[in-house]
Protein backbone atom coordinates (compact mmCIF):
# COMPACT_ATOMS: atom_id res chain seq x y z
CA UNK A 1 0.00 0.00 0.00
CA UNK A 2 1.35 3.49 -0.70
CA UNK A 3 2.95 4.95 2.35
CA UNK A 4 0.84 7.88 3.59
CA UNK A 5 4.01 9.94 3.98
CA UNK A 6 4.92 9.47 0.34
CA UNK A 7 1.50 10.52 -0.65
CA UNK A 8 1.78 13.67 1.42
CA UNK A 9 5.16 14.71 -0.07
CA UNK A 10 3.44 14.38 -3.43
CA UNK A 11 0.21 16.16 -2.56
CA UNK A 12 2.12 18.82 -0.60
CA UNK A 13 4.11 19.71 -3.70
CA UNK A 14 0.99 19.82 -5.86
CA UNK A 15 -0.70 22.01 -3.27
CA UNK A 16 2.26 24.41 -3.20
CA UNK A 17 2.62 24.58 -6.96
CA UNK A 18 -1.10 25.21 -7.26
CA UNK A 19 -0.76 28.39 -5.19
CA UNK A 20 1.43 30.04 -7.80
CA UNK A 21 -0.34 32.53 -10.09
CA UNK A 22 -1.68 31.00 -13.29
CA UNK A 23 -1.14 27.42 -12.09
CA UNK A 24 -4.27 25.45 -11.31
CA UNK A 25 -4.49 22.00 -9.77
CA UNK A 26 -4.24 20.39 -13.19
CA UNK A 27 -1.08 22.26 -14.20
CA UNK A 28 0.41 21.66 -10.76
CA UNK A 29 -0.05 17.92 -11.18
CA UNK A 30 1.44 18.03 -14.65
CA UNK A 31 4.51 19.87 -13.34
CA UNK A 32 4.84 17.35 -10.48
CA UNK A 33 4.68 14.47 -12.99
CA UNK A 34 7.40 16.21 -14.97
CA UNK A 35 9.59 16.76 -11.92
CA UNK A 36 9.36 13.20 -10.64
CA UNK A 37 10.52 11.93 -14.02
CA UNK A 38 13.39 14.42 -14.30
CA UNK A 39 16.85 13.72 -12.89
CA UNK A 40 16.74 14.74 -9.20
CA UNK A 41 19.38 17.44 -9.83
CA UNK A 42 16.92 19.38 -11.99
CA UNK A 43 14.37 19.57 -9.20
CA UNK A 44 17.03 20.41 -6.63
CA UNK A 45 18.36 23.21 -8.82
CA UNK A 46 14.89 24.74 -8.94
CA UNK A 47 14.60 24.41 -5.15
CA UNK A 48 17.98 26.12 -4.78
CA UNK A 49 16.94 28.94 -7.11
CA UNK A 50 13.85 29.49 -4.94
CA UNK A 51 15.89 29.55 -1.76
CA UNK A 52 18.45 31.88 -3.35
CA UNK A 53 15.66 34.29 -4.23
CA UNK A 54 14.76 34.53 -0.56
CA UNK A 55 18.27 34.61 0.87
CA UNK A 56 20.10 36.70 -1.74
CA UNK A 57 17.51 39.25 -2.74
CA UNK A 58 15.62 41.98 -0.95
CA UNK A 59 12.98 44.23 -2.36
CA UNK A 60 14.27 47.79 -1.86
CA UNK A 61 11.73 49.44 0.43
CA UNK A 62 12.09 52.72 -1.46
CA UNK A 63 11.95 51.76 -5.13
CA UNK A 64 10.99 48.06 -5.25
CA UNK A 65 14.18 47.07 -7.06
CA UNK A 66 15.80 43.74 -6.21
CA UNK A 67 19.01 44.20 -4.31
CA UNK A 68 21.20 42.68 -1.63
CA UNK A 69 20.87 45.83 0.43
CA UNK A 70 17.89 47.91 1.49
CA UNK A 71 17.83 50.65 0.30
CA UNK A 72 19.36 49.51 -2.97
CA UNK A 73 22.60 50.96 -4.39
CA UNK A 74 20.71 53.36 -6.68
CA UNK A 75 18.43 54.74 -3.96
CA UNK A 76 21.43 55.04 -1.62
CA UNK A 77 23.54 56.88 -4.23
CA UNK A 78 23.55 60.54 -3.16
CA UNK A 79 24.83 61.65 -6.58
CA UNK A 80 21.63 60.65 -8.38
CA UNK A 81 19.02 63.22 -9.31
CA UNK A 82 16.32 62.77 -6.68
CA UNK A 83 13.72 64.88 -8.47
CA UNK A 84 13.07 62.38 -11.28
CA UNK A 85 11.67 58.86 -10.96
CA UNK A 86 11.46 56.41 -13.86
CA UNK A 87 8.77 53.75 -13.44
CA UNK A 88 9.68 50.34 -14.90
CA UNK A 89 7.98 46.94 -14.77
CA UNK A 90 10.91 44.76 -13.81
CA UNK A 91 14.41 44.87 -12.33
CA UNK A 92 16.00 43.84 -15.65
CA UNK A 93 14.58 47.01 -17.25
CA UNK A 94 16.79 49.00 -14.87
CA UNK A 95 19.82 46.98 -15.95
CA UNK A 96 19.15 47.86 -19.61
CA UNK A 97 18.74 51.56 -18.86
CA UNK A 98 21.72 51.74 -16.51
CA UNK A 99 23.91 50.29 -19.25
CA UNK A 100 23.30 53.47 -21.26
CA UNK A 101 24.78 55.47 -18.41
CA UNK A 102 22.79 58.55 -19.41
CA UNK A 103 19.85 58.48 -16.99
CA UNK A 104 20.79 59.89 -13.60
CA UNK A 105 17.45 59.90 -11.81
CA UNK A 106 15.88 57.32 -9.52
CA UNK A 107 13.69 54.33 -10.40
CA UNK A 108 10.50 52.72 -9.23
CA UNK A 109 9.94 49.04 -10.01
CA UNK A 110 6.33 47.87 -10.32
CA UNK A 111 7.26 44.18 -10.11
CA UNK A 112 4.45 43.50 -12.55
CA UNK A 113 2.01 45.18 -14.91
CA UNK A 114 -1.73 45.27 -15.29
CA UNK A 115 -3.05 42.21 -17.11
CA UNK A 116 -6.79 42.02 -16.45
CA UNK A 117 -7.14 38.88 -18.59
CA UNK A 118 -4.64 37.11 -16.32
CA UNK A 119 -6.33 38.49 -13.23
CA UNK A 120 -3.49 40.89 -12.42
CA UNK A 121 -4.91 44.11 -11.03
CA UNK A 122 -3.46 47.24 -9.45
CA UNK A 123 -3.02 45.44 -6.12
CA UNK A 124 -0.51 43.08 -7.71
CA UNK A 125 1.81 45.96 -8.55
CA UNK A 126 4.04 48.08 -6.39
CA UNK A 127 1.81 51.14 -6.95
CA UNK A 128 0.88 52.52 -3.55
CA UNK A 129 4.56 52.91 -2.47
CA UNK A 130 5.13 54.97 -5.65
CA UNK A 131 2.30 57.33 -4.78
CA UNK A 132 3.56 57.56 -1.21
CA UNK A 133 7.09 58.39 -2.44
CA UNK A 134 5.76 61.23 -4.54
CA UNK A 135 3.66 62.61 -1.70
CA UNK A 136 6.55 62.62 0.73
CA UNK A 137 9.59 63.58 -1.36
CA UNK A 138 10.90 66.19 -3.77
CA UNK A 139 10.05 64.27 -6.99
CA UNK A 140 8.81 66.59 -9.71
CA UNK A 141 8.83 64.30 -12.76
CA UNK A 142 7.66 60.73 -13.17
CA UNK A 143 8.84 59.04 -16.39
CA UNK A 144 6.56 56.13 -17.26
CA UNK A 145 8.79 53.49 -18.88
CA UNK A 146 6.39 50.56 -18.99
CA UNK A 147 6.86 48.25 -21.98
CA UNK A 148 5.38 49.45 -25.29
CA UNK A 149 2.67 46.78 -25.36
CA UNK A 150 -1.06 46.72 -24.76
CA UNK A 151 -0.56 45.76 -21.14
CA UNK A 152 2.29 48.18 -20.59
CA UNK A 153 0.21 50.99 -22.08
CA UNK A 154 -2.74 50.03 -19.90
CA UNK A 155 -0.48 50.10 -16.87
CA UNK A 156 0.85 53.56 -17.87
CA UNK A 157 -2.69 54.86 -18.30
CA UNK A 158 -3.71 53.56 -14.89
CA UNK A 159 -0.65 55.14 -13.26
CA UNK A 160 -1.23 58.42 -15.11
CA UNK A 161 -4.68 58.67 -13.56
CA UNK A 162 -3.28 58.10 -10.09
CA UNK A 163 -0.34 60.43 -10.54
CA UNK A 164 -2.30 63.33 -12.04
CA UNK A 165 -4.11 63.83 -8.75
CA UNK A 166 -0.78 64.41 -7.02
CA UNK A 167 0.07 67.32 -9.33
CA UNK A 168 3.37 65.79 -10.45
CA UNK A 169 4.68 66.06 -14.02
CA UNK A 170 4.22 62.75 -15.85
CA UNK A 171 6.10 61.88 -19.05
CA UNK A 172 6.52 58.70 -20.99
CA UNK A 173 9.23 57.32 -23.26
CA UNK A 174 9.09 58.38 -26.91
CA UNK A 175 7.45 55.92 -29.28
CA UNK A 176 8.47 55.73 -32.94
CA UNK A 177 10.57 53.99 -35.52
CA UNK A 178 13.58 52.21 -34.05
CA UNK A 179 16.89 53.59 -35.32
CA UNK A 180 18.24 51.33 -38.06
CA UNK A 181 14.80 50.05 -39.11
CA UNK A 182 13.06 50.70 -42.43
CA UNK A 183 9.50 51.13 -43.59
CA UNK A 184 9.25 47.56 -44.84
CA UNK A 185 10.25 46.01 -41.54
CA UNK A 186 8.24 48.01 -39.00
CA UNK A 187 4.66 47.16 -38.13
CA UNK A 188 1.69 49.41 -38.83
CA UNK A 189 1.47 50.23 -35.13
CA UNK A 190 5.09 51.42 -35.07
CA UNK A 191 4.62 53.53 -38.18
CA UNK A 192 1.41 54.98 -36.83
CA UNK A 193 3.16 55.91 -33.57
CA UNK A 194 5.99 57.54 -35.50
CA UNK A 195 3.60 59.71 -37.53
CA UNK A 196 1.43 60.65 -34.59
CA UNK A 197 4.42 61.53 -32.44
CA UNK A 198 6.32 63.43 -35.14
CA UNK A 199 8.52 66.20 -33.77
CA UNK A 200 9.32 69.63 -35.12
CA UNK A 201 12.69 70.12 -36.81
CA UNK A 202 12.55 73.91 -36.88
CA UNK A 203 14.98 75.42 -34.45
CA UNK A 204 13.37 77.04 -31.46
CA UNK A 205 9.99 75.31 -31.79
Chain residues in the site for a copy of itself (CB under 8 A):
1-3, 5-7, 9-13, 15-17, 19-23, 27, 29-37, 40, 42-54, 56-57, 59, 65-68, 72-74, 90-92, 94-95, 98, 111-112, 118, 120, 124, 126
CB of 152 to a copy of itself, least distance (A): 13
Number of C-beta neighbours around residue 87 at 10 A: 26
DSSP lists the bridge partners of residue 141 as 84, 169
DSSP 143: E
β-pairing, 141-144 vs 81-88, is parallel
CB of 87 to a copy of itself, least distance (A): 15
CB 89 within 8 A of CB 147: yes
Burial (Cβ within 10 Å: 0-12, 13-18, ≥19) of residue 106? buried
Residue (90 or 133) nearer to a copy of itself, CB: 90
Residue (43 or 162) nearer to a copy of itself, CB: 43
CB of 13 to a copy of itself, least distance (A): 4
Residue (1 or 184) nearer to a copy of itself, CB: 1
Amino acid sequence: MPNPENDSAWTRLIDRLGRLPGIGKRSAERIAFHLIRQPPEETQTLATALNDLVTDLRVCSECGNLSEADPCAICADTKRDRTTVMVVERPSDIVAIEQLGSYRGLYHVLLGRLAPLDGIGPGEMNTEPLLERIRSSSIDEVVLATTPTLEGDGTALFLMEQLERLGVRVTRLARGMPTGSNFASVSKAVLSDAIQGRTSMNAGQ
